Amino acid sequence: MVFQTPDWVKHAVFYQIFPDRFARTQRSVTDPAMAVALEAWESPPTLFGYKGGDLWGIAEQLDYLVDLGITAIYLTPIFQSTSNHRYHTHDYYQVDPLLGGNQAFVDFLAAAHRKNLRVVLDGVFNHCGRGFFFFNDILENGPHSPWLDWFKVKNWPLSAYDGNLPANYQGWVNNRALPEFNHDNPAVREYIMQIGEHWIRQGIDGWRLDVPYEVETAGFWQEFRDRIKALNPEAYIVGEIWTEASPWLDGTQFDGVMNYPFTGATIAFAAGDRVRMDLVEIPHYFPYPALDAPGYAQKIQRLLGLYPWEAQLAQLNLLSSHDVARLYSVVGDDEASVVLATLLLFTFPGAPSIYYGDEVGLPGELDPDCRRTFPPESQWNQRIVQLYRQLINLRHRYPALRTGTYGVVYAEGETYVFTRSLDSDRLAVALNTGTAPIGLTTDTLLSPGATPDPVFAYGGASWDPHKLHLPPRSGLMATL
């Protein structure tokens, strides 16, 4: 079997959007379902409140994303739900009315594709919401419901809301708001397969799969891959796996995963002991303890050795997401840590993913604070914006940064140097995360005759033909 992942992913720069928080449409809205009371856009986010971002609003901001250099969008769930994050699905065939419904999605998808932007949706197929019709029928009709075997009912009566009584059915992480599907039921399995196929037929470019490790039914994700790829061989299938993911990257299931092991190691190296422990001890992605260059090199080389190269190039690499505190806050608002981590992100194999707002320096602590609304331009950190623009441009300019080999050439103390190489296209990336200046002769790092030409520098870093100069907390990228 040949393991093939979508070629477009290997060259993509993703932008993750939490739809309720990115942009409200500027059009006149006449749909009564959208003419509702909303939280003030600029007020702090709450667990249960709605800000009213919608799909037309995202469509109206596509020029901004294209100008930034984005080529693909990952939307957290958009289907009908009773939560602002929409992981409590009620109807997998209906886009949430607050997002503009199915028509808004049709308009958004067409607008995105006109601008050559790919669109990946979030598939929440392990569990649904209490309002999902088949589960709601059980709540209404008890043991007489024809859909009992769709869920994991243990006893009667079910208690879907009263926490003083046993739920008597299985909810994800014992959350009675999220009844788990019985994936061993062939009807459930077929229902989910058809949902996946339906939205591929509507034109989406892939699925991000929520907690897929919870689905333990033999062959489930293998069948999902086969059926999705039969409709669109270039569809991207990426799983939310927080740990090493070899069992899912054998070529029969996912193309890639959300690469949290990269996230944790990269922040631990770039920020060191600046990481705010109160923000990272609950989500299990481990941007601690602080790493020196040899420690980082060891973790990265192990990570690069875990999966086939075809899967490495299809990883979804990230520094923030809707499930963790934002990078800017995690590193204690230290700009150098943000810059160095972002430099590592855009020079690593796999597709870099930007969590909306990170590119403008948006802070955010743990949920719900990490789900703030996108700020007006007057509140952007322009230095961070320009950093992102420059690094995205460089990634698009040099093929080696996308599909070239990765080789560590120096890792001592707090200094880390590596190369990305593809045919005659070759670049070196160097960072000093420490507080003392570093100077290294070029011959120490590169083969004789190499002539580094810097294309990116931060913190006063420079590289003349004979010596690499890295002041404290600096980084550089050079062609060779």
d(CA 174, CA 127): 11
CA distances (Å), 332 to each of 266, 271, 336, in order? 15, 9, 11
Catalytic status, residue 210:
yes
DSSP codes joined into one string, 372-393: PPPPPGGG--HHHHHHHHHHHH
Please name the helix (run of DSSP H) or strand (run of DSSP E) that holds residue 89, with its range, or none. strand 89-95
Residue 454 makes CB contacts below 8 A (sequence gap 6+) with 461, 462, 463, 476, 477, 478
SS3 128: coil
Tokens 């093929």 belong to residue: 399
Please name the helix (run of DSSP H) or strand (run of DSSP E) that holds residue 194, with its range, or none. helix 186-201
Buried-exposed string 53-62: b where 16+ CB fall within 10 A, e elsewhere: bbbbbbbbeb
Please pick, among 240, 255, 358, 359, the residue that the annotation labels catalytic. Answer: 240
Count the neighbouring beta carbons within 10 Å of the beta carbon of residue 177: 18
> What angle (nearest 5°) sits at the alpha carbon of residue 448, between those of residues 444 and 449?
125
Please pick, among 180, 205, 210, 414, the residue that the annotation labels catalytic. Answer: 210
Instruction: Cite the active site residues.
Output: 210, 240
